[in-house]
Structure 1
Amino acid sequence: MGQTTETAAQAAPIDEPAATVPWRSRTVQIVLTSTALAPLGVPLISPALPVFRDVFGVTDAQASLLVSTYFLVGIVLSPFIGILADRTGRKRVLVAGLLAFGALGGAMAIAPTFEALLALRIAQGTAAAAIFITTVTMVGDAFEGAQRNAVLGANVAVLSATAALFPVLGGALAGVAWNAPFLAYLAAIPIAAFAQGGLEEPDRPAGERGIAYLASAGRSIVTPALLALFAVAFLTEFLLFGVIFTAIPFVLATAFAPVLIGVVILASETASMVVAAASGRLARYLSNEWVIAFGFACYAVGFAAAWAAVGVLAMIGAVVVIGVGVGLLMPVVDAAVSDRVTTEYLAGAMSLRNSTTFLGRTAGPIAFAGLAITAGFGYEPLLLASSVVAVVATGVAVVAGPARLARWHAHPTAR
């Protein structure tokens, strides 16, 4: 942000080599290091949900609250975190979020009751929202065009890489002690020190504050294109967290150990990482709408394959296809939002996008566990229903894609 590396990158044409990721940029290094923590929130503990269920004597639906409550407060507070990031600076909010994330997470290891554990998860989710919002906002501030897609793709690739490892780590640690996975959260504290010492905070112009700012930011995103992108963000996360991080672990838990469940999630995250890393290159040839269409098509195929899977190898093949869809969808949504919002309101817009993302992550586990257990549908039929929903989403994106693609070919720099 404001550094020479980023300024030069912004000035370069998007068809030049600068459309790659500037790995030596301190902003990129801090963003990617902070992003590496994000999987500690859910993928680390997702394979251990059956363990927490048994230790505390709760139901599947109650155990799934360890996923959904992590995002609950962030749905409401994300816009206000966006205000802080725009008015007081990205650095202050990021560092505070990292410190709180680490301290609250470590405290979970000594939670005496399930209710205390849930309370800490809710508070930690607010800190996680600060990390999510500030990292993607810093990328939107510092980069443009296909290079922005490339950096956001690298961001998702790092997210997927660490998320691929943490489920295995979480499953293994849960096999040692039910609370051992929570000690990993303490890694956020040294990363906060790195951000404090290494990130420069540029001066920001005076402007609207408080609720007036939020109202203006809200008006700036009430357009059909941006609202559609928020809907894509919600559906992407709703299906991902409902299927990959809730339904599939409980389906596999009847026959496999937590560490093997972690291996299945690892396969999905690895596919996400590989595809997301190519996001910058895809952005030079495909419109955002076509990438979204291909992403939902992968969801449709992967969910149907998971429903039909017999054995762990077939399930791994299914989640790999789903992971490809994640790698296509996640970077392009943030890139498209950044394209359509001015810097003045970028953190606010990203915070509202974060609210829709957190809503999807919260609603997915609750809906899937509730329908499967409380309503008695079971998890397998929900996998097939998810495939049908993804087919519909693919059709909507295909209808929108050709018009956007035609405009892009006519004005290739107007992305």
Structure 2
Amino acid sequence: MMASSSPPSPTAVPLLTRVTLLLTAALTIMSGATIAPSLPAMQQHFAALPNAAVLVRLTVTVVGLAIALSAPLSGWLTDRIGRKRVLVAALVLYALAGSSGLYAPDLPALMLGRVLLGLAVGATMTAGSALAADLFVGEARARFLGFQSAFTSLGGVLFLPLGGLLAGVGWRAPFAVYLSALLIVPLALRLPRGEVTAPGGVAEAAGIPWRLVGPAYAVALAYMVVFYLMPTQLPYRLEGLGVPPASVGFVMGISTLSGALAALWFARRGGTKRPAVTAGFSLLALGTGWAIVSLAPGAGWVAPGLMIGGAGAGMVTPNLNTFLAALAPAHARGRVLSGLSASIFLGQFLSPLLAQPFVQGTDVSPAFRIGAIFAAGLAGALLLIGIKTSRSGLAPGN
């Protein structure tokens, strides 16, 4: 049924393997965050095009749509041919497609490059998470998945300011950062293959508890719709408050830094036995932070909102990742985790579309306000579910 042996004990996982998986995780947020500070300048460059304001924002979020559509295939390939093969190929595509913004002659060509980048990000995220889930079990798995999420946020801490600095050179310059994925390829070639499902083996959906997996996907999608107001709308909010483009990335990095610290806290705790409650408090923090951002009278007031909202967001992904990795049977782990990737990045794509009706000219604060209300409502529902059940129906096993 399986073409691989039992996973090694956590202490037997080589340091190089751990480092490689963590570096790979840092590429996830980079896919959109790196070019976020360039959005206002990019919009000016393409101002002659109809609906330029929405189309330029979609250069960030079309990546999410590509991931959402391709994730099932990425998960199937990850389960069938191995995590390592998928990951190496995805890293190469990531570098080539991501850097296409350096030379794309027009907006449609740029969009095509972003779509291909989305295919690469989905495969990278799915293969990396599935391999980590193969190699670790129990609390060790929760800790490492927490560290992966922390590195995802730390990638934003690095690449958002870098993108902001490069945006001062020109809106195309940040696209060069995507070439850094090529540096990870030699490391990825040394990774273990991970679990593989033999053709003709276990049925595709055998053993997958969809009654728990489905709601987790819904929470992930809703969370990302709200959280992704940060890279797609915050640059405009900061511009309206007088923040120069070169500083936008540094301000946005506050959110990703606090998210990284929250994910590290999750990792140190070794996960949680009440994922619904954890998700509820996380979304409540996210909503509180975005409410502060929406009401901020000056740039200095945005920072605490980003700290609080980022901390809440930093807990959501490792919580859901750990929960689903524990629920999924090994033969279907790639497919289950690819569904989480699809939900998260579909939320990224939908975020600016759902926010646009609440954007009033150059004022995006109403979008943050509505997002805060929605997050608080979802948080309340999750807290009620978690508190009213003596034993959480979402509690994962090993």
Please report the TM-score for the alignment, with normalisation by the length of structure 2. 0.91
CA shift digits 1:120-144 (9 cap, x unpaired) = 1111110111101111111111112
Matched position secondary structure for 1:178:
coil
CA shift digits 1:284-318 (9 cap, x unpaired) = 66521221111011012111111111111110110
Structure 2: gaps spanning 5 or more residues: none
Alpha carbons 1:83, 1:213 under 8 Å: kept: no
Alpha carbons 1:71, 1:126 under 8 Å: kept: no
- 1:337 offset after TM fit, Å? 0.5
CA shift digits 1:78-125 (9 cap, x unpaired) = 101111110011111000000001011223201111111111111111
- 1:275 offset after TM fit, Å? 0.9
Counterpart Cα distance in 1 of 2:336 and 2:200: 15
- 1:253 offset after TM fit, Å? 1.7
After superposing the two structures, state which structure 1 stretch, 57-66 or 156-165, moved more. Answer: 57-66
Identify which of 21, 25, 36 aligns with 1:46: 36
2:355 is the counterpart of 1:407:
no
Identify which of 166, 169, 181 aligns with 2:159: 166
Q: 1:399 to 1:192 in 2, by over 3 A?
A: same
2:170 is the counterpart of 1:185:
no
| Paired letter, 2:230 | I
Residue 395 of structure 1 corresponds to 380
Residue 253 of structure 1 corresponds to 239
Residue 201 of structure 1 corresponds to 193
- 1:414 offset after TM fit, Å? 4.4
Residue 100 of structure 1 corresponds to 93
1:53-202 matched pairs, under 5 angstroms: 53-57=43-47, 58=49, 59-196=52-189, 198-202=190-194
- 1:321 offset after TM fit, Å? 0.4
CA shift digits 1:136-157 (9 cap, x unpaired) = 1111111122211111111111
Identify which of 10, 22, 25 aligns with 1:32: 22
- 1:56 offset after TM fit, Å? 2.2
Alignment RMSD: 2.5
Residue 14 of structure 1 corresponds to none
Identify which of 292, 298, 301 aligns with 2:279: 292
Give identity over the alignment, percent: 25
Counterpart Cα distance in 1 of 2:45 and 2:118: 23
- 1:387 offset after TM fit, Å? 1.4
Q: 1:30 to 1:179 in 2, by over 3 A?
A: same
Residue 8 of structure 2 corresponds to 7
Identify which of 319, 323, 338 aligns with 1:351: 338
Counterpart Cα distance in 1 of 2:67 and 2:313: 22
Alpha carbons 2:358, 2:366 under 8 Å: kept: no
What count of residue pairs does the alignment treat as equivalent? 391
Residue 365 of structure 2 corresponds to 380
Counterpart Cα distance in 2 of 1:158 and 1:149: 14
- 1:268 offset after TM fit, Å? 0.5
- 1:413 offset after TM fit, Å? 9.2
Alpha carbons 1:246, 1:369 under 8 Å: kept: no
- 1:203 offset after TM fit, Å? 6.8
- 1:385 offset after TM fit, Å? 1.3
- 1:60 offset after TM fit, Å? 1.8
Residue 15 of structure 1 corresponds to none
2:359 is the counterpart of 1:367:
no
Residue 240 of structure 1 corresponds to 227
Residue 263 of structure 1 corresponds to 250
Q: 1:397 to 1:38 in 2, by over 3 A?
A: same
Counterpart Cα distance in 1 of 2:31 and 2:113: 12
Q: 1:50 to 1:413 in 2, by over 3 A?
A: closer
Matched position secondary structure for 1:173:
helix
- 1:55 offset after TM fit, Å? 1.6
| Paired letter, 2:336 | A
- 1:220 offset after TM fit, Å? 2.0
Residue 293 of structure 2 corresponds to 306
Please report the TM-score for the alignment, with normalisation by the length of structure 1. 0.88
- 1:27 offset after TM fit, Å? 2.9
- 1:193 offset after TM fit, Å? 2.1
CA shift digits 1:145-196 (9 cap, x unpaired) = 2211111111111111120121111111011122111111111112112211
Residue 312 of structure 2 corresponds to 325
Alpha carbons 2:57, 2:352 under 8 Å: kept: yes
Matched position secondary structure for 2:33:
coil
Counterpart Cα distance in 1 of 2:197 and 2:89: 22
- 1:329 offset after TM fit, Å? 0.9
- 1:202 offset after TM fit, Å? 4.8
Alpha carbons 1:235, 1:360 under 8 Å: kept: yes
| Paired letter, 1:192 | V
| Paired letter, 1:244 | M
Alpha carbons 2:83, 2:194 under 8 Å: kept: no
Alpha carbons 2:68, 2:343 under 8 Å: kept: yes
